[in-house]
A and B are shown apart, each in its own frame.
Chain A
Amino acid sequence: MPLILTDDQQMIRDSADGFFKDEAPVALHRQLRDSAEPNGFSRDVWAKMAEMGFAGVLVPEAHGGADMGHVAAGIIMEAMGKNLSAAPMLSTAVLGATALKAGTPEQQAKYLPLIAQGAHLLALAADEAARHKPNHVATTATPSGNGFKLNGVKGFVLDGAAADTLIVAARTSGETDDHAGITLFLVNPKADGVKIDRRHMVDNRGAARVTLSDVQVDGADVLGAVGEGHAILEKMLDAGRACLAAEMLGVSGTSFAMTVDYLKQREQFGQKIGSFQALQHRAAHLFCEIELARSATLKALQALDEGSDRAPMFVSLAKAKAGEVAILASNEGVQMHGGIGMTDAFDIGFFMKRARAAQETFGDAAFHSDRIARQLGY
């Protein structure tokens, strides 16, 4: 597959760019922050995203989805990154849909149409350690009745406070860091023993700490096979990581565009600061870095659509490169804006906050460098 967007994908890009610019611009993000909206996103926007087919981008047509693939999901996430649009796209449309596609026919029939309609939100409750380590699962699932009893604490559950269903990774066997013995469960957040505490994060997205105390789940709520949840979890995470790379590409793109504009307007020492070579070279270098991040991200999304064996390697490449570049782009953005870049009234700081949070989500550049090295055998 050539490393470019198809005609259809270019059309999706144009419509996603237009949609988020009109319906969920940075101004909306600021408004949600100022009004202390508890979930950090607008339900209205999410409903419109469902109408556009975005919520069902990875849902098969048989279940009412648009089934447009990972490249399309990434295109939508990039447009969201450009505008700092908050929505349960990652938690529900990407992670949720990927998880449920591994479910039983009954689970698929129950959840996938609701995901595509934007009528049901999911949240992944996997990470326990502050630094991402998906096989680190101390939360236990012990046999009880016709199902299991869950106990443990999940520290960083995106959209956890808004979710209608939690996807919980718990250990049915093995030691805390083993890959084997992890099982995924579909858990009702309103069930007895589930406690959800909103955590107020720097990027204003809805994250929660989820505490599970003797939560009883039914055997029918196991997702995939008992003890074999790690493979599904990795699949979910890889889809999420590639889409986060795309979102960070959007964050980098707008940070860079704002910065180059500012270099052309701001005058000091009697001339435009963009005429100073010290700043020109940094901007030109950043341009190159963003181009590299774009290539890596598109390759990862295509590899996921192809079901390639090398998809995990390309996903880590994209997440590492796009993450590093988003940090660079937003840091340079603030620095080149000077004092005004440090003010809350100006938007560039929002991009730096989102870049940092997206970089930490599901493994930062260091995590993914290590993962690439392992995949390449060293």
Chain B
Amino acid sequence: MADLDTFRAETRAWLEANCPPEMREPIRDDDDVCWGGRNCQFKNDAQRVWLERMGAKGWTVPEWPADYGGGGLSRAEAKVLSEEMRRIKARSPLSSFGIWMLGPALLKYGNEAQKKEHLPKIARGEIRWCQGYSEPGAGSDLASLRTSAEDKGDHYLVNGSKVWTSYADKADWIFCLVRTDPAAPKHLGISFLLFDMASPGVSTSPIKLISGSSPFCQTFFDNVKVPKENLMGTAGKGWDIAKYLLTHERDMIGGSDSTGGGQRDSVSNIAKRLIGLDAAILADTALRTDIARHEINALAFSLTMERVMAETKSGQGTGALSSMLKYYGTELNKERMQLLMSIRGSDGLVFDGEEKGDGDLARSWLRSRANSIEGGTSEVQLNIIAKRVLDLPGA
């Protein structure tokens, strides 16, 4: 305990000395978020300095081993670091699919050379990664993917196309599901490749979404040569890694965006502000009924997150609940956004111009519609529950 207190004191002092004041301001725009990478356009010097200092200590990935560029902190120390960062409202120095997704898979499935090569660059924000999973013909049925990687002795020759590749146009490397054995059953012919987006034959084309933004691309591979040593795990076993990462992604989407409580203002508080009360009752009684119904589900859902975590911690875990949390959490978040649109009425429809107002509501609403599609649709989650939890036949 004394050690932890010392650690806290040292951490607090280091953060005070090293976190630039600009990095303690709330995030206002997209470019306040730093994604790193070879072509990173830092918004200002403070953003660059903050990433460099945190990256040098490995505190962008506090719990990764120090040998791989991590902080080498224990769980308890990492918690202290996160508390101390919150205390001074420090921004996260780096947002990264390398940290959130590839890193955990590399630690579990990568070989020593791959870990040494890639993890430190992820930790320091030097390489920005994107994820090559979905294809134009393989969405919910991901395992039917057709991007081929033909064995050419010392390298694979990759041909095909990926879609919904987040920020592919800005990424340096891709982790990519490819088919190495077209003759094998569909789940068994898949492998997991890592390669440089600057390789000859790789091209990207942004996709404009209904919200007006273009976070996704279609990505094309035309005779891309990928060295054999860039295969992660065993050839033909890529689906195991894919499933591991999907579960990880599901927890992130279900957990982070859609809790009823948390830091976000509740729907009823927003309604109270915008619609007002009449004799202590929301002035729009029809909407009040819908809001109360939503808040009951939102509260019961956040209690369920709390219970699942407590069960996992105590070893009472029922398991296989990530699909439930993903399904219910994303459906609730969509409902929340629809209610917020109803509360704002015609003002919520403003899409552009001066009076766009706080928070780009119409765009956030449109963005939320993807919650129940990305990372496995709601229908796929229900399939998984039917099969793995309820053990229903033929699912």
Enumerate chain A interface residues (CB-CB to B < 8 A).
2-5, 260, 263-264, 271-272, 274-275, 277, 280-281, 283-285, 287-288, 291-296, 298-299, 317, 320-321, 369-370, 372-374, 376-378
Residues in chain A near residue B385, CB distance under 8 A:
284, 287-288
Minimum CB–CB distance from A47 to chain B (whole Å) comes to 34
Check B303 against A271 for contact (C-beta < 8 Å). Answer: no
Check B390 against A260 for contact (C-beta < 8 Å). Answer: yes
Minimum CB–CB distance from A256 to chain B (whole Å) comes to 9
Check A272 against B393 for contact (C-beta < 8 Å). Answer: yes
The docked-state distance in angstroms from the alpha carbon of A294 to that of B306 is 12
Please give me the residue from chain B that is nearest to A296 by CB atom. B300
Check A373 against B282 for contact (C-beta < 8 Å). Answer: yes
* Cross-chain contact of A4 among B300, B314, B382 (Cβ < 8 A): B314
Given contacts A317-B299, A372-B295, A376-B268, contact A298 B392 (CB under 8 A): no
The docked-state distance in angstroms from the alpha carbon of A377 to that of B268 is 9
Check B292 against A373 for contact (C-beta < 8 Å). Answer: yes
Cβ proximity bits B368-394 to A, threshold 8 Å, 1 near / 0 not:
000000000001011101100111111
Please give me the residue from chain A that is nearest to B281 by CB atom. A378
Minimum CB–CB distance from B54 to chain A (whole Å) comes to 33
Check A317 against B296 for contact (C-beta < 8 Å). Answer: yes
Q: B293 within 8 Å of A by Cβ? A: yes
* Cross-chain contact of A296 among B299, B321, B392 (Cβ < 8 A): B299
Cβ proximity bits B270-313 to A, threshold 8 Å, 1 near / 0 not:
01100001001110000011011101110111011011001101
* Cross-chain contact of B383 among A280, A287, A291, A321 (Cβ < 8 A): A280
Check A295 against B282 for contact (C-beta < 8 Å). Answer: no
Q: B40 within 8 Å of A by Cβ? A: no
Check A280 against B395 for contact (C-beta < 8 Å). Answer: yes
Please give me the residue from chain A that is nearest to B324 by CB atom. A288
Main secondary structure on chain B at its contact with chain A? helix
Minimum CB–CB distance from A307 to chain B (whole Å) comes to 19
Residues in chain B near residue A374, CB distance under 8 A:
280-281
Given contacts A2-B310, A275-B395, contact A378 B271 (CB under 8 A): yes
The docked-state distance in angstroms from the alpha carbon of A317 to that of B296 is 6
* Cross-chain contact of A373 among B291, B301, B306, B382 (Cβ < 8 A): B291
Given contacts A295-B300, A295-B304, A321-B296, contact A369 B289 (CB under 8 A): yes
Total residues of chain B contacting the partner, CB 8 A = 45
Check B303 against A3 for contact (C-beta < 8 Å). Answer: yes
User: Can you list 11 A-B contacts (CB < 8 A)?
Assistant: A2-B310, A260-B390, A283-B390, A284-B327, A284-B381, A293-B300, A295-B300, A321-B297, A373-B281, A377-B277, A378-B288
Residues in chain B near residue A378, CB distance under 8 A:
268, 271-272, 277, 281-282, 288, 291
Please give me the residue from chain B that is nearest to A3 by CB atom. B307
Check B392 against A377 for contact (C-beta < 8 Å). Answer: no
Check B303 against A283 for contact (C-beta < 8 Å). Answer: no
Check B324 against A287 for contact (C-beta < 8 Å). Answer: yes
Check B394 against A272 for contact (C-beta < 8 Å). Answer: yes
Check A292 against B310 for contact (C-beta < 8 Å). Answer: no
Minimum CB–CB distance from A275 to chain B (whole Å) comes to 3
Check A271 against B394 for contact (C-beta < 8 Å). Answer: yes
Interface residues of B in 316-340 (CB under 8 A from A): 316, 321, 324, 327-328
* Cross-chain contact of B392 among A5, A263, A373 (Cβ < 8 A): A263
Interface residues of B in 217-270 (CB under 8 A from A): 266, 268
Check A284 against B307 for contact (C-beta < 8 Å). Answer: no
Check A284 against B390 for contact (C-beta < 8 Å). Answer: yes
**Given contact pairs A4-B316, A284-B385, A369-B296, a sample of 12 additional A-B residue pairs in the complex whose CB atoms are under 8 Å apart:** A263-B392, A271-B394, A275-B395, A281-B382, A284-B386, A284-B390, A287-B390, A293-B300, A295-B303, A321-B297, A369-B293, A377-B268
Residues in chain B near residue A288, CB distance under 8 A:
324, 327-328, 385
Check B292 against A372 for contact (C-beta < 8 Å). Answer: yes
Check B300 against A321 for contact (C-beta < 8 Å). Answer: yes
